[in-house]
Amino acid sequence: MAKVEIYTWLTCPFCRRAKQLLNSKKVNYIEYHIDGDEQARAAMVKRGSDGKRSVPQIFINDSHIGGSDALAQLERSGKLDTLLQQTPLVSQ
C-alpha cells in the first residue's frame, strides 16, 4: 500500500473533501495540521513541485500530487487506485 501524506488546515473545506475521498477508499494517511505554522507551510512548499502555499497538498510515495482538485482528477481518470496500490520505494 502507498504512503499517503496530506497537509491540511482544520477549517479547510478542500482538505475535508480530499480526506473524504481517501477515507472512502479506506486509505491510511499521515495528516499534517499546519494551521498558522509558517515553518510547516514553508516545508510543505519546499517539498512540493509547484510552489503552491494552498492546502491541501497531497503526496503519494513522496511524489507531489497537488491539491484536492488534482486528487479528484486522478480518481476520475482511474489513476488514483493504481497509485494507491504502489509500494513506496525504500531508499538505501
CATH, residue 21:
3.40.30.10
Asked, for residue 90, whether it belongs to a domain, the answer is no
Rounded distance between C-alpha atoms, residue 34 and residue 72, angstroms: 22
Domain that holds residue 42: 4-85
Rounded distance between C-alpha atoms, residue 20 and residue 14, angstroms: 10
Q: What nine digits make up the cell of 90?
A: 525504500
Average pLDDT of every residue of the chain:
95
pLDDT of res. 89: 74
Q: Give the CA-trace dihedral at 14, 17, 18, 22, to 10 degrees.
A: 170
Asked, for residue 40, whether it belongs to a domain, the answer is yes
Type of residue found at 33? H
Asked, for residue 92, whether it belongs to a domain, the answer is no
Asked, for residue 19, whether it belongs to a domain, the answer is yes
Q: What nine digits make up the cell of 49?
A: 513541485
Of residues 7 and 92, more confidently modeled? 7
Asked, for residue 14, whether it belongs to a domain, the answer is yes
Cβ pair 31, 23 in contact under 8 A: no
Q: How confident is the model at residue 6 (pLDDT cuts 50, 70, 90)?
A: very high
Rounded distance between C-alpha atoms, residue 40 and residue 22, angstroms: 22
> What is the number of structural domains in the chain?
1
Asked, for residue 20, whether it belongs to a domain, the answer is yes
